[in-house]
Amino acid sequence: MILTEEQKKGQDVFFRIITEAWANDDFKKSLIRNPEATLEKFFGRSLPLGKKIKVTDQSDPEYLYINIPIKMKPTDQELDEKKLDKLSGGAPKDTGITDYESLYDSLGNIYK
């Protein structure tokens, strides 16, 4: 899967937040309690307007956590031939699936 520059920047921000939460319990507690203020302090600037932030601690290895994203309306997305092919089973089965174990293993080394 090829990410756009905007997606890469978002991923970078996300990884920085996770890495800090793993390394700093006070940051993690503050992030859960008051995410907007904590992130504004962490990044040293105001956050974009229009969205609230909800942070949940999903670090207990005893559980499998599932995040249910916003349900898209059919009008939100047009399916091109490639997407239609993928939905109908024409693409390889591992296309677009992230190796989360490797992703999270590498997260700890990104911002040290």
- Whether residue 18 is contained in a domain is answered as yes
What average pLDDT does the structure give for the chain? 77
Q: How much of the chain exceeds pLDDT 70, in percent?
A: 64
- Whether residue 80 is contained in a domain is answered as no
Range of the domain at 55: 1-66
Whole-number Å distance between alpha carbons of 72 and 11: 21
**pLDDT score recorded for residue 112:** 45
- Whether residue 6 is contained in a domain is answered as yes
Q: Where are the alpha helices (DSSP H) in the chain?
A: 5-23, 25-33, 35-43, 81-87, 100-110
- Whether residue 8 is contained in a domain is answered as yes
- Whether residue 112 is contained in a domain is answered as no
Is there a contact between 100 and 15 (Cβ–Cβ < 8 Å)?
no
C-alpha closest to that of 20 among 36, 40, 37, 42: 42
- Whether residue 30 is contained in a domain is answered as yes
> What is the tally of structural domains in the chain?
1
Band of residue 50 on the pLDDT scale cut at 50, 70, 90: confident
**pLDDT score recorded for residue 10:** 86
Is there a contact between 32 and 55 (Cβ–Cβ < 8 Å)?
yes
- Whether residue 11 is contained in a domain is answered as yes
**pLDDT score recorded for residue 97:** 45
- Whether residue 109 is contained in a domain is answered as no
- Residue linked to tokens 């956590």: 65
Mean pLDDT of 89-108: 50
Is there a contact between 111 and 20 (Cβ–Cβ < 8 Å)?
yes
